Amino acid sequence: MSYIRIWVHCVWTTKRRIPYMEDHIRSAVIKHISENAKQKGIHIDHINGYHEHLHSLISLGGRQTISEIMQNLKGESSYWINKSKLTMHKFEWQDDYYAVSIGMDHLEILRAYIRNQVNHHRKESIDNEIDRLIEEYKLERFRD
């Protein structure tokens, strides 16, 4: 038996960063993603976002890859959003996502940051946030 704990902070946006997710829609999407993830053995510790994006803190399992998890969460939720007609127009997630590993010492700070997304984005745009995350974590672009 193996013992593993790998924490990953993931961020993904709507296609063209269209602000589809007003509060009631975002709440429904987050609930659905959380339930779907649990059924598929994906451990989402925290998830929240704003009108055009979501943040999540995920603990990877021994056989899971970030790419597979993101494909599963984004693909299934996009299908569900459209099937449920939560938006007036076809809903799509951007192909890209952002992911960075998180140390145990930073978990509580990140959890608070994810919980506080609505207030945070009253002060900082998603574009600025993404630029800051790329710079802060020295993220590199990879093709899945």
Q: What are the pLDDT digits (tens) for 73-89?
A: 999 999 999 999 999 99
CATH number, residue 72: 3.30.70.1290
**CA atoms within a 13 Å half-sphere pointing along the CA-CB vector of 68:** 9
| Inside any domain, residue 117 | yes
Quote the CA–CA distance of 41 and 66 in Å, as a whole number: 13
Q: Is residue 132 situated within a structural domain? A: yes
pLDDT tens digits, 92-101: 999 999 999 9
| Residue 96 maps to a domain | yes
> Tens of pLDDT along 40-52?
999 999 999 999 9
Judge whether residue 144 has pLDDT over 70: no
Q: Domain range holding 110?
A: 6-137
Q: How many domains does the chain have?
A: 1
What residue type is 109 in one-letter code? I
Residue 144 lies in a domain: no
Q: Is 100 left (phi over 0), alpha (psi -120 to 50) or beta?
A: beta
Residue 66 inside a domain? The answer is yes
Give the predicted TM-score (pTM) of the model: 0.93
Is residue 9 exposed (0-12), middle (13-18) or buried (19+ Cβ within 10 Å)? buried
Is 1 a member of any domain?
no
Residue 90 lies in a domain: yes
Domain assignment of residue 143, yes or no: no
Structure tokens at 21: 């997710």
